[in-house]
Chain A
Amino acid sequence: MSAIATELKNETLVGFYEQLWRIRLFEEQVQRLAARGEVPGFPHLSTGQEAVAVGVCALLNEDDYLFSGHRAHGHVLAKGSDPYAVFAEIIGRQDGVCRGRGGSMHLVDVAHGVLGATGVVAGNVSIAAGAAWAAQVRGESRLAVVFFGDGATGAGVFHETLNLASLWRLPLLLVCENNGMAEFTGREEHSNVAKVSAFAAPYGIPTQTIDGNDVLAVYEAAREAIESIRGSGGPWLLECMTYRMAGHYVGDAQHYRSKEELAAMKEKDPIDRLRRDLVKRGIPENALAAVAARVKAELDTVVDRARRAPHPDPRTVLEDVYSAWN
């Protein structure tokens, strides 16, 4: 067990375990309803990558700004958004965080600092930098964090933003979830640069590549990064090596994966990993099973409620294109 694990209280670690399950089971529900045709569009699941969301967000304050990409459910839940309002949004209901205007890929929940997910790969890395800049010029201690996949590093704006964030020493935490897959194609076909952290050095940005399936490793590295950022140390790039247990989108047949790869998946599962650590620490298996069962029951209720939530009124379709002036 790592040094960080001995430092953290059982209660905190079980809290991580609970959050991991919340994201996992939430997305299982998304998948289940998608298969039944109840989810409009094409949701992207983060199954297998939950430890990154949980480890980083455990260190964020409510007023820190969070941005994410198309695989955002986990980040938003870990930041503290109400699972009911997020689920209602994903199935396009009026009670959703965006009143059914955004959906899975465009989740925004200002009350919890979630300033937005985007459906355009790398599309809001620069916007997160802008939020960080706003905090900086006002002398606030909050920071902005943006989650993105390794695929985003192929976009020009990613590099432009690294340069700018470094130059202006913005309080920005860049979290790359390197799952080795950009949509349907492996990283080796996208770039000769195997490690995303290699992009940080030329811009003078501190970086670390860590095991993103180990929530404690994520927590430990993110804590160092966030302490440095809050101390006005400028941006950080955290590369979390992880594994997308889900397809690119719900319904992706994943022909690009071998049977061996699928079999090895369980070994990497961040939930199982933390479970093993917790058991070693003396927390009884049945207590952990009870946590998962409780989260499952909670989400069953959430999903039932969300499915009964009102649909948006078609007469409101033109609301909020502009502010109230015209």
Chain B
Amino acid sequence: MELTAIEIIRRALDEEMSRDESVYLLGEDVAAGGAFGVTRGLAEKHGARRVRNTPISEAAITGLATGAALCGLRPVLEIMFIDFATLAMDCLVNQAAKYRYMAGGQLSVPMVVRTQAGAAGGAAAQHSQSLESWFIHVPGLVVLAPSSPSEAYGLLKAAIRLDDPVLFIEHKRLYAMKEPLAQEEPLPIGRARVAREGSDATLIAYSAMVRTALEAADQLARDGISVEVIDLRSLVPLDMATLVRSVAKTHRVVIAHEAVEMGGVGAEVAARLGVAAFDELDAPIMRVGCPFAPIPFAPELEQALLPGTRRIEQAVRELAS
């Protein structure tokens, strides 16, 4: 049976709440389902005590979740848009991420911050950003970016069971995806997935961009270019071993993401591959990301800015030629 990502993520939350009574959901409107309906029905099933609406106070509710996590709860906090995580940065960056370390290992923060990111449908500059690279820069945080409903299910289950703070990024376009649930188990954190095997170039992506990358790979295959697509799944920790193995096979790399290229995940991956796979590379590592501009409102402007299959194909062709 095909399920939407919203239904599949809800199922992961529901199952984890049934499995472990220390799991609590918090966030703006979550008792009514949240802005995207992910948590719909969970308050009725697990009680209003465990699925709790909060005021629009990102700083305070992130602190609330952090403090509860220190005391043994496993809060799953929903920050409606990653753009609003800016309001919670002190807590995420200065407090939650460093708690375990600063306390010399006496405490941990088993908290998941589920948030939603990316551009789609004219949400414009303050509701469309891909800010993941801010968070990968902070030691102590785990950053996950699932590319499909089933992956979201497995990674979210693993995140809830983890003792460290996790930023769990759900792309807007993910919510519209449908598929049968591929597996019922948590997925290992820190493992990338080879989404498609190929031999001419390695195309690295994450989140909703994996689907775009697979479409580009299909198109390129018609022209005889065999592309290996790697889905990172986990941005921190980064699975370099899988990337290096692929590069040893293809010798060419394109990294695609929706975030701006400047200071992005692609820059980090490129720098690391530039060292770890230097002898394997036959060409410079290419990046495909948003140009250095905010996300615009009008549909034709939004489309003009977002990196799609065309730009990815172009980058791969350039490398392969």
Chains A and B bind each other: yes
Q: Which of the residues A65, A118, A321 comes within 8 Å of B95, measured between beta carbons?
A: A118
Measured as residues with beta carbon below 8 angstroms from the partner, the interface class of chain A is 35 or more
A102-B104 in contact (CB<8A): yes
Q: Which of the residues A135, A163, A323 comes within 8 Å of B163, measured between beta carbons?
A: A323
Q: How far apart are B58's CB and chain A's nearest CB, in angstroms? A: 8
Interface flags, A120-144, vs B, CB<8A=1, else 0: 1001111111111111010000001
Q: With an 8 A cutoff between CB atoms, is B24 at the interface?
A: yes
Q: With an 8 A cutoff between CB atoms, is A314 at the interface?
A: no
Q: Which of the residues A109, A130, A320 comes within 8 Å of B66, measured between beta carbons?
A: A130
Q: How far apart are B310's CB and chain A's nearest CB, in angstroms? A: 37
In the bound complex, residues from chain B placing their C-beta under 8 Å from that of A120 are 90, 94-95
- The answer to whether residues A164 and B54 also contact, given A101-B102, A115-B70 and a CB cut-off of 8 A, is yes
In the bound complex, residues from chain B placing their C-beta under 8 Å from that of A241 are none
B71-A135 in contact (CB<8A): yes
A129-B71 in contact (CB<8A): no
Q: How far apart are B44's CB and chain A's nearest CB, in angstroms? A: 18
Q: With an 8 A cutoff between CB atoms, is B61 at the interface?
A: yes
Q: With an 8 A cutoff between CB atoms, is A106 at the interface?
A: yes
Count of chain B residues near A, Cβ 8 A:
45
A160-B60 in contact (CB<8A): yes
A161-B104 in contact (CB<8A): no
- The answer to whether residues A130 and B71 also contact, given A157-B59, A167-B55, A326-B190 and a CB cut-off of 8 A, is yes
A134 to B67, CA, bound (A): 8
A99 to B102, CA, bound (A): 9
A160 to B62, CA, bound (A): 11
Instruction: Say which one of B28-36, B105-113, B193-201, B300-308 lies at the interface with A.
Output: B105-113
Q: How far apart are B74's CB and chain A's nearest CB, in angstroms? A: 11
Q: With an 8 A cutoff between CB atoms, is A83 at the interface?
A: no
A98 to B59, CA, bound (A): 26
In the bound complex, residues from chain B placing their C-beta under 8 Å from that of A323 are 100, 108, 162-164
A264 to B57, CA, bound (A): 42
Q: With an 8 A cutoff between CB atoms, is A108 at the interface?
A: yes
Among A96, A99, A128, A323, chain B packs the most CB atoms within 10 A around the CB of A323
Q: Which of the residues A100, A118, A133, A319 comes within 8 Å of B64, measured between beta carbons?
A: A133
A110-B90 in contact (CB<8A): no
B90-A97 in contact (CB<8A): no
In the bound complex, residues from chain A placing their C-beta under 8 Å from that of B68 are 130-131, 133-134
Q: With an 8 A cutoff between CB atoms, is A256 at the interface?
A: no
A108-B107 in contact (CB<8A): yes
In the bound complex, residues from chain A placing their C-beta under 8 Å from that of B60 are 126, 129, 157, 160-161, 163-164
Q: With an 8 A cutoff between CB atoms, is B91 at the interface?
A: yes
A322 to B66, CA, bound (A): 15
A101-B237 in contact (CB<8A): no
In the bound complex, residues from chain A placing their C-beta under 8 Å from that of B142 are 322
Q: Which of the residues A131, A163, A319, A321 comes within 8 Å of B55, measured between beta carbons?
A: A163
Q: With an 8 A cutoff between CB atoms, is A116 at the interface?
A: yes
A2 to B135, CA, bound (A): 54
A116-B99 in contact (CB<8A): yes
A235 to B104, CA, bound (A): 30
A146 to B106, CA, bound (A): 19
B100's closest neighbor in chain A, by CB?
A320
A320 to B105, CA, bound (A): 5
In the bound complex, residues from chain A placing their C-beta under 8 Å from that of B62 are 126
A253 to B94, CA, bound (A): 29
In the bound complex, residues from chain A placing their C-beta under 8 Å from that of B54 are 164
User: Which residues of B, 70-86, contact A by the 8 Å Cβ criterion?
Assistant: 70-73, 75
Q: Which of the residues B90, B102, B163 comes within 8 Å of A106, measured between beta carbons?
A: B102
In the bound complex, residues from chain B placing their C-beta under 8 Å from that of A127 are 63-64, 66-67, 70, 91, 95
A121's closest neighbor in chain B, by CB?
B90
B71-A101 in contact (CB<8A): no
In the bound complex, residues from chain B placing their C-beta under 8 Å from that of A133 are 64, 67-68
Q: With an 8 A cutoff between CB atoms, is B103 at the interface?
A: yes
A125's closest neighbor in chain B, by CB?
B63
In the bound complex, residues from chain A placing their C-beta under 8 Å from that of B237 are 326
A59 to B135, CA, bound (A): 40
Q: How far apart are B137's CB and chain A's nearest CB, in angstroms? A: 14
Q: With an 8 A cutoff between CB atoms, is A231 at the interface?
A: no
In the bound complex, residues from chain B placing their C-beta under 8 Å from that of A101 are 101-104
B165's closest neighbor in chain A, by CB?
A322
A167 to B56, CA, bound (A): 13
In the bound complex, residues from chain B placing their C-beta under 8 Å from that of A106 are 102-103
B residues apposed to A, CB below 8 Å? 24, 49-50, 54-55, 57, 59-73, 75, 90-91, 94-95, 99-108, 139-140, 142, 162-164, 189-190, 237
Q: A99-B105, A110-B106 are in contact. List 9 more A-B contacts (CB 8 A).
A: A101-B104, A102-B104, A123-B91, A130-B70, A132-B67, A164-B54, A320-B105, A322-B142, A323-B108
15 A-B contacts, Cβ less than 8 Å apart?
Answer: A101-B102, A110-B103, A125-B63, A126-B67, A127-B63, A127-B66, A127-B95, A130-B64, A134-B72, A160-B59, A164-B60, A164-B64, A320-B100, A326-B189, A326-B190
A residues apposed to B, CB below 8 Å? 65, 96-102, 106, 108-110, 115-116, 118-120, 123-135, 137, 144, 156-157, 160-161, 163-164, 167, 319-323, 325-326
Please list the 10 inter-chain residue pairs (A to B) with the smallest Cβ-Cβ separation, ordered nearest first: A130-B67, A126-B63, A160-B60, A99-B104, A134-B71, A160-B57, A323-B163, A98-B104, A108-B103, A127-B67
